Homo-oligomer: A and B are copies of this chain.
Amino acid sequence: MADSNPKAKRRAKRSSRPRPGGSVTIHRIAAEAGVSTATVSRALNQPEKVSAEARERVQAAIKRNHYILDGFAVGLASRRSRTIGLLIPTITNSIYASSTQAVQRVAQQNGYSVLVGVSEFSPSREEVLIQKLLERRVDGLVLTGEARSAAAYEKIKRNGVPFVVTWQLTADPALPSVSFDNRKATFAAVEHLIALGHRRIGLICGRTDVNDRALARREAFEACMARHGLPVSADLVFERDFEFVEGRSAMHAILRHRSRPTAVFCANDIQAIGAMYECQEAGVKVPEQMSIVGFDDLPISQYMHPQLTTVRVPADDMGKRATEMLLAAIEGKPGDQRVELTTDLVVRRSTATPKRQNRASAS
């Protein structure tokens, strides 16, 4: 049973059956508008290259048939997705909502969509997400933090996908990043406390094993204390998840410490708010008996009572700049490779001079 002419068979099939149950395709539009599929495609992507009449007939046919472009076919044929991937650790801490929103906004303004992946602070889950985003052929990637396996970076690079790191300045200058300096920001916060007269200061931060920003902040805290000749008790340092309740329980422990500190630096506002709540519940006045400084300057922080002293991070600007940098890289344009943004210490009402100087720790 030799088939006489396979090609003819194929073409016949194609033109004769507009896919019974299938949706309307570019072929249908072309036929109704009396042009070729190429012209329809052009009318869609480069309208200026098509005559006005043809364009109008195509538009009419599209509207009449409720035609919807097939993104898969477009992506497959054009080898571009006009999509960027965004990897964030969590969606419930609103600080990431700010940067995410900025990324979305800039991407959209430039005709790109964004696919967001939430890793929940799990490195392995993040790798799976990177794989998935690569399978979806994202044109670029916005990453959170620099710490990830060499294999993960390898995978990204092998696929020729440009990326930019946010929330952490890359140690390796070859890796593009847009961030503020976590160390500098931490120094500002801790030195504010020290300048106020605090000598015994506790630390509540995120898990340094899965969060390089938490690690950077913890190390900076310790370096700052050391620089000022102040001791850091290991039992006054708490690494916890990003939850109000974690900040609260850490403060609970701090309050019953045999040698209670007069201030606590929280490496994020969520934990700071939990910590502040615990003080209030325990009848410990903030800031009179306990100064608290946070990090992030969440929108809620200035609506707390007392308002939280905290480090304002340029989340929105970071997302914006990172996306711009990424889009430039995608389109092969030159651009900065490493942008350092500034932070501000916002002194509000949760910090003050300690009431009674605790001289115990000064040897």
* Chain A: interface residue total (CB-CB under 8 A): 46
Q: In the complex, which of the residues B71, B100, B137, B244 contacts A300, with contact meaning CB atoms closer than 8 Å?
A: B244
Contact B91 A100 (CB under 8 A): yes
The answer to whether the Cβ of A158 comes within 8 Å of any Cβ in the partner chain is yes
List B contacts of A72 (CB < 8 A): 71-73, 75-76, 81, 137
The answer to whether the Cβ of A341 comes within 8 Å of any Cβ in the partner chain is no
Interface string of A99-137 (1 = CB under 8 A from B): 011001000000001011010000000000001101111
Tell whether A101 pairs with B94 under 8 Å between CB atoms, given A70-B76, A70-B137, A72-B75: no
Contact B300 A273 (CB under 8 A): yes
Tell whether A104 pairs with B118 under 8 Å between CB atoms, given A135-B70, A244-B300, A273-B303: yes
Complex CA gap A70/B303 in Å reads 48
- Which residue on B lies nearest to A286, using beta carbons? B305
List B contacts of A101 (CB < 8 A): 91-92, 118
Contact A71 B137 (CB under 8 A): yes
List B contacts of A155 (CB < 8 A): 66
Q: In the complex, which of the residues B73, B76, B115 contacts A115, with contact meaning CB atoms closer than 8 Å?
A: B115
A141 to chain B, nearest CB (A): 14
* Docked complex: A332-350 residues within 8 A CB-CB of B: none
List of 10 A-B pairs having minimum Cβ-Cβ separation, nearest first = A72-B75, A72-B76, A277-B303, A71-B135, A71-B136, A7-B7, A91-B97, A72-B72, A69-B135, A244-B303
